[in-house]
Amino acid sequence: MTNDQNTDVIRALPAGFTENLLELLNEEISVDPSATIELSTDLLLTGLVDSLGVVQIVSWFEDELSVDVDPIDVTLENFQTAHRMVAFAEQLAASVQ
Amino acid sequence: MWRSAATAAQQAQNSGGAEIPPSLNGDVRTLADLLPAAARSGGDTPGLFGLDRNGAEQVLSWNDLERVTRQMASNLRLAGVRSGDRVLVSMHKSTASFLAMHAVLRAGAVGVPLDPLAPPPHASAVISSTAPVAAYLDPNTTERLAGLLPEDLLLCTDPGADLEGKGGVLAQANEVGSEAVDDAAGAHSLPVVRPHDPAYLIFTSGSTGTPKGMLHTHRSGLAYAELTVSTHRIDETDRVAGMSPLHFDMSTLELYSAPLAGAAVVVIPDTHLRMPASFVERSAALGITIWYSVPFQFRQIESRGAVERRDLSALRHLIYAGEPYPPGALRALMEKLPSIRVSNAYGPAETNVCTVHELSGMPDPETEIPLGRPWGDVRVRVVDEDRRDCELGEPGELWVQAPTVMTGYWQRPDLDEDRLLPSESPDEDPWYRTGDVVVADELGCLWFRGRADHQVKIRGVRLELEAVESVLTDAPGVLHAVVGPRSVDGGPLELVAAVVADSAHATMGEAAVSGSGPLALRTIQKWCGPRLAPAALPRAITVMPSFPLTASGKIDRRSVREVIARATSPEPSKSTEIAP
């Protein structure tokens, strides 16, 4: 999880971030594997992601982006859809530049 | 007899508590009277803080709540709903879901809350056994339940659909049914509701997977509301967080206790509960004074809610129920909320709640927290297998006799006969056998010692292990399945499973575990997803070549459960640990 020498060169998200996120959501996080999660799917209202799923997503973010996610940022605004998660990841990546 | 001493002690303790305001107490005889009485006392002061679908704040006064629900109830009657008819309410938590439940009660009908995310077999069983004549549904619930609903079902317009602000709610509510009802007309079309009339049904999973419905009356619901208001000293200065889904019996605090006390309800959408930081932000912004939920939820809030970085000075009381709260974990939260009162409320949904324990200070991490003493004039017995009263300190099954206890199970006279035993006097409520094993101490305080059957509580959700096992056993490639609880590193309980493949899928080993073999774990997971509630999904599945048998040749479930409860590795392998 530590990859400190990279933090100063991050200019954008790691390659394939969005695809990997969708794969994570569909293959590991979703409580209903028969449903398809897309970028705009409301993960919380549909119940496809439960509170333990949120924890897994946050931990994946921390690994992928080599950052610590502040618990106060784990909000609906940042995690309700995959689309919002990508936007939040971009913010995180920018903040460690 | 320790039990009469316990009651006396409890009454002595309660006598110092706040009484229900007389203006409400005298006027309120049923749950249908709650909003009219609250409107008379509270008028235009805020009764409910909600969010519309766009996330905009909505504030409804007690007068608004009374008027809107009167109109909705009146429209239900005009549309043909009669007293005692069942009305399905399958909605995510919102302003609309609160209005819908009260509208049903005021129409004299029986509310049937159904988890909008219920697996289809559960939804189907609830719908077919209750035969609802009408339903309040969210748009996405309507889609999910398509095919399960009776053809002639009256679909009520969702009073919260596509609205912005409270003006929208009022306008839309006027349109429910055939025509708008003006203020004066509404009351005339509403029926007289009596205390013993059925009010609502709460369903849980049954031991064979058939849901069990608990029928509560206006009397049992109101008795609960009165006891919560007096015991927890809730008043009109409070703001109560509505943290439980409607189909969960703990939603009764926000639905009924808050209006009885004149305390405003703050609706917490389901989405906020999966995002503790969002919940805590809302709690701070609206000055919520009472949190009521399950320990699982509070542990999420403690670890991820950024509690110490928000101004929660308004918060004065945390009430938990549904499952034991490990004292160390509770202490961690209390250290972040230094001046908070904490109470443990205990009681199976059949009883609403029957005992309460208010902590006197920081809990010691090594010392168990008791269930508490019976509240109000609730009577309890602790009985042995021969149904004789146990000695003090001797474990036995808890029996409860209280006005808060349900009337009976929905269309299950067999269960009633087993669980509800007539009292010595015909004028008294029956005894309810909880199935919980407890011990009583010399102060009449009860301590939980387990279950007499195979029921477990996961995240506060009551699950019958046999019901989960029967779903797993039906999965492709599975011959036998055993399910049991475990806790990893003192964390919340979760379900784990062990399976044995059927002979057609006998090749075990790496291929199976990695997901590509004959018994693919992902296949089992896909099977379970739509059939089990999230709390019932096994978090890990162990494949075993065979199960040990008991002397009589049955699967030795107890030993298998012991094995899987221990099967915890600090770094679980991806192949066997199944994501939620």
* Cross-chain Cβ contact B579/A56 below 8 Å: yes
Mutate to test the interface with A, among B275, B281, B459, B577 (most CBs of A within 10 A): B275
Shortest Cα–Cα distance, B273 to chain A (Å):
8
pLDDT band, very low/low/confident/very high, at A39 (cuts 50, 70, 90) = very high
Closest CA to B534 of B456, B458, B477, B454: B458
B233-244: average pLDDT:
96
Beta strands in A2-92 (DSSP E): none
Higher-pLDDT residue of B159 and B375 is B375
Q: Which residues of B have a CB under 8 Å from any CB of A?
A: 92, 117, 140, 270-278, 281, 300, 303-306, 309, 522, 525-526, 529-530, 534, 537, 579-580
- Are B352 and B476 found together in one domain? no
Domain that holds residue A33: 12-95
Please indicate, yes or no, if residue A2 is contained in any of the structural domains. Answer: no
CB B50 within 8 A of CB B60: yes
B535-551: average pLDDT:
87
The confidence score (pLDDT) of residue B335 equals 96
CA angle B117, B119, B120 (to 5 degrees): 115
Q: Which residues of B touch A33 (CB under 8 A)?
A: 522, 525-526, 529
User: Is it the case that residue B161 has pLDDT exceeding 50?
Assistant: no
The CATH number that applies at residue A22 is: 1.10.1200.10
Number of structural domains chain A divides into:
1
- Are B189 and B303 found together in one domain? yes
The confidence score (pLDDT) of residue B191 equals 95
Shortest Cα–Cα distance, B181 to chain A (Å):
33
Please indicate, yes or no, if residue B387 is contained in any of the structural domains. Answer: no
Provide the 10 A C-beta neighbour count for residue A62: 14
- CA dist B175 to B71, B75, B108, B555, Å? 9, 9, 20, 58
**Domain end residue (candidates: B345, B377, B409):** B377
Please indicate, yes or no, if residue A24 is contained in any of the structural domains. Answer: yes
Least confident residue range of A67-71, B155-159, B226-230, B500-504: B155-159
User: Is it the case that residue B47 has pLDDT exceeding 90?
Assistant: yes
- Are B189 and B295 found together in one domain? yes
The pLDDT tens digits for B325-360 are 999 999 999 999 999 999 999 999 999 999 999 999
* Cross-chain Cβ contact A33/B271 below 8 Å: no
User: Is it the case that residue B575 has pLDDT exceeding 70?
Assistant: no
Q: Which residues of A touch B300 (CB under 8 A)?
A: 51
Q: Which residues of A touch B305 (CB under 8 A)?
A: 71
- Which amino acid is it at B170? L
B390-394: average pLDDT:
93
- Are B212 and B304 found together in one domain? yes
pLDDT band, very low/low/confident/very high, at B512 (cuts 50, 70, 90) = very low
User: Is it the case that residue B511 has pLDDT exceeding 50?
Assistant: no
Please indicate, yes or no, if residue A7 is contained in any of the structural domains. Answer: no
* Closest Cβ opposite residue A72 in set B272, B306, B580: B306
The CATH number that applies at residue B491 is: 3.30.300.30
The confidence score (pLDDT) of residue B46 equals 97
pLDDT band, very low/low/confident/very high, at B491 (cuts 50, 70, 90) = confident
Size of interface A-B (CB pairs under 8 A): 74
* Cross-chain Cβ contact A44/B275 below 8 Å: yes
The CATH number that applies at residue B118 is: 3.40.50.12780
- Which amino acid is it at B192? V
Please indicate, yes or no, if residue B45 is contained in any of the structural domains. Answer: yes
Please indicate, yes or no, if residue B218 is contained in any of the structural domains. Answer: yes
DSSP B579: P
Number of structural domains chain B divides into:
2
B215-220: average pLDDT:
98
Please indicate, yes or no, if residue B394 is contained in any of the structural domains. Answer: no
Helix (H) or strand (E) holding B346: strand B341-346
β-strand pairing of B373-374 with B355-358:
antiparallel
Q: Which residues of B touch A74 (CB under 8 A)?
A: 275-277, 304
* Cross-chain Cβ contact B529/A74 below 8 Å: no
Please indicate, yes or no, if residue A6 is contained in any of the structural domains. Answer: no
In whole angstroms, give the CA distance from residue B74 to residue A22: 47
The confidence score (pLDDT) of residue A2 equals 43
The chain B residue lying nearest A57, using CA atoms, is B579
Helix (H) or strand (E) holding B120: helix B120-130
The chain B residue lying nearest A46, using CA atoms, is B117
The confidence score (pLDDT) of residue B451 equals 86
- Are B258 and B142 found together in one domain? yes
Q: Which residues of A touch B529 (CB under 8 A)?
A: 30-34
**Domain end residue (candidates: B346, B377, B408):** B377
Please indicate, yes or no, if residue B393 is contained in any of the structural domains. Answer: no
- Are B366 and B462 found together in one domain? no
* Cross-chain Cβ contact B529/A32 below 8 Å: yes
**Domain end residue (candidates: B360, B377, B394):** B377
Domain that holds residue B464: 455-566
* Cross-chain Cβ contact B273/A54 below 8 Å: no
CB B256 within 8 A of CB B222: yes
Please indicate, yes or no, if residue B404 is contained in any of the structural domains. Answer: no
The pLDDT tens digits for B427-480 are 899 999 999 999 999 999 999 998 888 888 888 888 888 888 888 988 888 888
